Amino acid sequence: MNAGNWFAYASAVAAVAALIFSPKRLTRKEMYATYFVMIALTIYTDLCFGLLLDLYDFINPDVSLSDLILQVALPPTAGVLALNFMPNGNKLFVLYLVVAVVLALLFEWLSLKTGYLIYKGWKLYYSLPVYVFGLLFLRWHLRFIRR
């Protein structure tokens, strides 16, 4: 197993542990809905940009069992964690958004450095609007569920 695999699995274990042991501000229903919405968004996004447009790969060009395991563990858990700690107020949300996007970009950069993620046309700065949109979507998603 290469460094990229180790990084990805260690990150997934850390994210799941953080979710299990962190204080919960979301209900089980909200976590459940968010988790499965994030799985769908992640898979569709990676199918579109990674597979169809061939802009990036995860470790190798083929879809593997480890890719699927990580797809249903890492991004959805990170999304639930992000939503769990997301502040309600607009001023705090803007600061939270900036910090969360910077952390997501740092994680993506580390994924590149370890070899978990391989760009084939994608650039790190392309991810900036994706993460901003993702966090704005999560905020809307929680409000939608709570109505």
Following DSSP, what letter does each residue of 14-60 receive, concatenated?
HHHHHHHHSPP-S-HHHHHHHHHHHHHHHHHHIIIIIIIS--EEESB
CA-to-CA separations, 2 to 8, 9, 113, 116, 145, in angstroms, rounded: 10, 11, 12, 9, 40
The predicted structure's pLDDT at residue 79: 96
The predicted structure's pLDDT at residue 78: 95
Contacts of 109 (CB under 8 A, 6+ apart): 124
List, for the chain, all residue ranges whose pLDDT scores fall below the cut of 50. Answer: none
What is the reported pTM?
A: 0.92
The predicted structure's pLDDT at residue 34: 97
> Tens digit of pLDDT for each residue in 82-117?
999 999 999 999 999 999 999 999 999 999 999 999
